[in-house]
């Protein structure tokens, strides 16, 4: 039994099912990556796990408890962190204020956590008093990830964290995500850049039309000729 799992999820927006019996799971310290063609329901699966989408079949389990009925806000309190793909920072707030807002639900002293985030992303410490809207795309993504880390989540979910950043910044960002996973956090992410993502993945899920098509280790998926041919461009 995995630490976090969405089991047999079926559901979608307004009556039309996008996910069909889809299962995604990730363990602490692991990176699980969801890849697949456009419209495969990657982001939808992520949203379903985070409670932003109703599923009428299946369930979401976190640490042995059924959290299917919790709202996204309550899932944050239960230890899940979510980084949306778009609009994932408060643009008019400074970097530091963004992190403070990430820690909004915490009543204890979170200066340690902020120091950890600054250690992980040194550039943010430098720009702490600058509005997040003035940062580059890569730096913004760092703010977004940092904001989600402020609650000290046990699970970190990232929706296309490398969308729109340069290849160098992407590698750097993925390195940081590995670091987060090594610290014992379960990392689940959706990625457009399938090859790079599977490279760092402990587990990979290839979705096609809302169904699990291939599920294996990242390495095995990269080696699988069928996956290579259909999804990785040969």
Partner 1 sequence: MEDLLNAIILFSNFVLVPATAYGAQLALGALGVTLVFGILRFSNFAHGDTMAFGTMVVILVTWWFQSMGISIHPLPTALLALPFGILATIGLLLATDRLVYKFYRKQKSPPVVFVMASVGVMFVMNGIVRFIIGPNDQVFADGERFIMKARDFKASTGMAEGLTIKVSQALTLGIAIIVVIALFWFLQRTRTGKSMRAFSDNEDLALLSGISPERVVMITWIIAAALATIAGTLYGLDKSFKPFTYFQLLLPIFAAAIVGGIGNPLGAIAGGFVVAFSEVTITYAYKKFLRYLLPENLEPNSLVQLLSTDYKFAVSFVILVLVLLIRPTGIFKGKVL
Window contacting partner 1 (CB under 8 A); options: 6-14, 91-99, 177-185, 212-220: 91-99
Return d(Cα 234, Cα 229) in angstroms, integer.
4
Which residue is listed with tokens 């639900």?
105
Q: How many helices (H) and strands (E) does the chain have?
A: 10, 10
Taking the complex as a whole, the smallest distance from the CB of residue 92 to partner 1 amounts, in Å, to 5
Using rule CB under 8 A, residue 93 touches partner 1: yes
Compute φ and ψ for 119, nearest 5 degrees. -65, -40
Q: How many residues are recorded in the chain? A: 234
Of 39 and 72, which CB lies nearer to partner 1 in the complex structure? Answer: 72
Return d(Cα 209, Cα 112) in angstroms, integer.
43
Of 38 and 107, which CB lies nearer to partner 1 in the complex structure? Answer: 107
State how beta strands 16-26 and 155-159 pair.
unpaired
Of 12 and 102, which CB lies nearer to partner 1 in the complex structure? Answer: 102
Taking the complex as a whole, the smallest distance from the CB of residue 130 to partner 1 amounts, in Å, to 15
The residues in 149-188 that bind partner 1, with binding defined as CB under 8 A, are 151
> Residue 12 gets which letter from DSSP?
E
Site string for partner 1, 52-81 (x = CB under 8 A): --------------------xx--xx----
Taking the complex as a whole, the smallest distance from the CB of residue 104 to partner 1 amounts, in Å, to 5
Of 101 and 178, which CB lies nearer to partner 1 in the complex structure? Answer: 101
Burial class (CB in 10 A: 0-12, 13-18, 19+), 86: exposed
Return d(Cα 190, Cα 36) in angstroms, integer.
9
Binds partner 1 (CB under 8 A): choice among 48, 62, 82, 200:
82
Q: What are the residues binding partner 1 (CB under 8 A)?
A: 72-73, 76-77, 82, 84, 87-93, 97, 100-102, 104-105, 147, 151
């Amino acid at each position: 039994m995995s630490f976090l799992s969405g089991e047999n999820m079926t559901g979608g927006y307004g009556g039309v099912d996008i996910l069909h019996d889809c299962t995604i799971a990730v363990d602490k310290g692991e990176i699980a990556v969801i890849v697949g063609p456009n419209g495969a329901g990657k982001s939808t699966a992520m949203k379903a796990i985070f409670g932003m989408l109703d599923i009428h079949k299946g369930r979401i389990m976190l640490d042995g408890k059924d959290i299917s009925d919790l709202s996204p806000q309550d899932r944050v309190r239960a230890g899940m962190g979510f980084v949306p793909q778009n609009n994932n920072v408060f643009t008019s707030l400074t970097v530091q204020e963004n992190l403070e807002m990430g820690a909004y639900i915490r009543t204890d002293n979170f200066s340690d956590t902020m120091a950890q985030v600054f250690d992980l992303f040194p550039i943010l410490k430098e720009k702490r008093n600058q509005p997040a809207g003035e940062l580059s795309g890569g730096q913004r993504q760092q703010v977004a990830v940092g904001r989600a880390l402020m609650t000290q989540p046990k699970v970190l979910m990232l929706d296309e964290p490398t969308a729109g950043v340069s290849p160098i910044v992407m590698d750097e960002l993925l390195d940081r995500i590995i670091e987060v996973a090594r610290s014992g956090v379960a990392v689940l992410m959706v990625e457009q850049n399938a090859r790079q993502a599977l490279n760092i993945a402990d587990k990979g899920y290839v979705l096609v039309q809302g169904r699990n098509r291939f599920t294996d280790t990242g390495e095995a998926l990269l080696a699988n000729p069928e996956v290579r041919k259909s999804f990785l461009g040969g």
